[in-house]
């Protein structure tokens, strides 16, 4: 922890609230605060824009703001920096707010996998690399450099369809579940989607398995969505058989197969918002969002439940707290930028190429 922030850690949330509001008023249109759906309410309430990471970055880039304060995790602030105007500054209130899934695929391991795949086939000819937006900037850059592309949970199918038009196979990282669930909806058999274990030579696969695969899935996952299990659905529906199940596609395949609806965070929000009154929902996504939906729609008789019996929130998102927000904003008022996230120009150029390919093929 920076010594400069230590006095702020002694402030209670009410003190921070006053200081945040005062700083926001002083900064005016020079500041835009982005709040990801998984953020705690004490931070979420201060956001100018709320949503998923790509949507937020594009909104910030279109704003008049000089400073983009992203209440999310590191890769989100990187995307904001890549897509924003050169004069805009992207800031993450706590630089330790990372993403365990994104950390499961790093550039060194992906480059090694690419090299090992070349022992079996020519990946430049045979494989389109696809990275989920929940990944580091240098992996987006890798995809841009090698004819690949980025995807979100909303457009993953469109991205895979584009990818297969380029080459016969896809290397999909870092989330195996999104890749598998999307591939299954496209009719790709499970045995043609193999998992690459980055801790094993040749990903733990045989040459024949690699040659027969349509999608090579990275052995990565979201620590939150990994917690959901099909037995949780069965147990809940024994008590409430009328329950509708809605899951994020980062959830395991078996959970999605038992779900009535599968889709991104925005899709989950919109589906529940537009549902009939007095319906009951079991939701497989992050706890803060589920609790917010429960409170927002309980007056309509909608019962929104969290799927896991265990508390399961994004612990790295939770690092963004009112104390860090107050520290960052008051420094901006004083003319000091702290916790800037800046992607090197060469990496940003290749990453932007992969992101623009995604935007071109998305509906």
Q: pLDDT for 295-353, tens place per residue?
A: 999 999 999 999 988 765 565 667 899 999 999 999 999 999 999 999 999 999 999 99
Fold adopted by 225-306: Rossmann fold (3.40.50)
Question: 1: exposed, middle or buried (C-beta count within 10 Å: 0-12, 13-18, 19+)?
Answer: exposed
Tokens, residue 24? 């926001």
Strands, E, within the chain: which ranges? 31-36, 49-51, 67-71, 89-91, 127-132, 149-151, 169-173, 193-196, 215-218, 244-247, 261-262, 280-284, 303-306
pLDDT of residue 135: 96
Pick the closest to residue 290 from 220, 221, 228, 234 (CA basis).
228
Ranges in the chain annotated CATH 3.40.50.10800: 3-98+316-342, 225-306
CATH 3.40.50.10800 matches 3-98+316-342: yes
User: How far, in Å, are 39, 153, 168, 196, 345 from residue 174 at the CA level?
Assistant: 22, 12, 20, 10, 23
pLDDT of residue 139: 98
Tokens, residue 105? 């695929």
CATH 3.40.50 matches 102-222: yes
- The set of residues, in sequence order, having a beta carbon less than 8 Å from that of 48 and lying 6+ positions away, is 32, 33, 34, 63
Each residue of 206-247: pLDDT tens digit?
Answer: 999 999 999 999 999 988 888 999 999 999 999 999 999 999
Coil vs helix vs strand at 245: strand
Residue pointed to by tokens 């925005």: 266
Q: Judge whether residue 151 has pLDDT over 60.
A: yes
How far is residue 328's CA from residue 341's CA, in Å, rounded to a whole number?
13
User: How far, in Å, are 26, 128, 355 from residue 148 at the CA level?
Assistant: 43, 5, 9
Each residue of 26-54: pLDDT tens digit?
Answer: 999 999 999 988 888 899 999 999 988 88
Tokens, residue 166? 């380029």
Question: 315: exposed, middle or buried (C-beta count within 10 Å: 0-12, 13-18, 19+)?
Answer: exposed
Pick the closest to residue 15 from 347, 326, 301 (CA basis).
326
The pTM score is 0.93
Q: Judge whether residue 291 has pLDDT over 70.
A: yes
Least confident among 125-134, 155-164, 283-292: 283-292
pLDDT of residue 315: 59
pLDDT of residue 314: 61
Q: What is the number of residues in the chain? A: 363
């Amino acid at each position: 922890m920076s010594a400069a922030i230590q006095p702020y850690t002694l402030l209670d949330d009410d003190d921070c609230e006053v200081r945040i509001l005062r700083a926001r008023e002083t900064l005016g249109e020079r500041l835009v605060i982005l709040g990801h759906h998984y953020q705690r309410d004490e931070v979420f309430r201060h956001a100018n824009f709320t949503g998923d990471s790509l949507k937020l970055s594009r909104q910030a880039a279109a704003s008049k703001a000089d400073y983009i304060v992203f209440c999310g995790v590191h890769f989100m602030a990187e995307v904001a920096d890549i897509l924003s105007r050169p004069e805009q500054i992207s800031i993450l209130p706590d630089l330790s707010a990372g993403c365990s899934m994104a950390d499961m695929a790093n550039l060194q391991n992906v480059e090694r996998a690419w090299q090992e795949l070349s022992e079996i086939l020519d990946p430049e000819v045979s494989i389109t690399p696809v990275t989920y937006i929940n990944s580091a900037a240098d992996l987006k850059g890798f995809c841009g450099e090698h004819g690949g592309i980025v995807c979100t949970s909303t457009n993953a199918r469109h991205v895979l369809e584009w990818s297969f038009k380029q080459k016969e196979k896809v290397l999909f990282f870092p989330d195996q579940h999104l890749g598998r669930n999307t591939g299954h909806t496209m009719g790709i058999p499970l045995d043609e989607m193999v998992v690459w274990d980055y801790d094993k030579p040749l990903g733990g696969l045989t040459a024949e398995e690699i040659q027969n695969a349509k999608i090579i899935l990275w052995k990565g996952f979201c620590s939150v969505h990994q917690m959901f299990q099909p037995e949780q659905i069965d147990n809940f529906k024994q008590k409430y058989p009328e329950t509708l199940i809605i899951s994020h596609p980062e959830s395991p395949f078996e959970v999605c197969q038992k779900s009535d609806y599968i889709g991104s965070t925005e899709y989950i929000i919109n589906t529940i918002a537009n549902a009939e009154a007095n319906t009951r929902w079991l939701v497989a996504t992050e706890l803060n969002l589920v609790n917010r939906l429960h409170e927002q729609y309980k007056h309509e008789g909608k019962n929104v439940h969290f799927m896991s019996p265990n508390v399961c929130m994004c612990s790295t998102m939770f690092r963004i707290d009112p104390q860090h927000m107050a520290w960052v904003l008051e420094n901006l008022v004083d003319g000091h930028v702290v916790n800037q996230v800046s992607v090197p120009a060469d990496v940003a150029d290749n990453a932007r190429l992969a992101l623009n390919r995604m935007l071109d093929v998305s509906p």
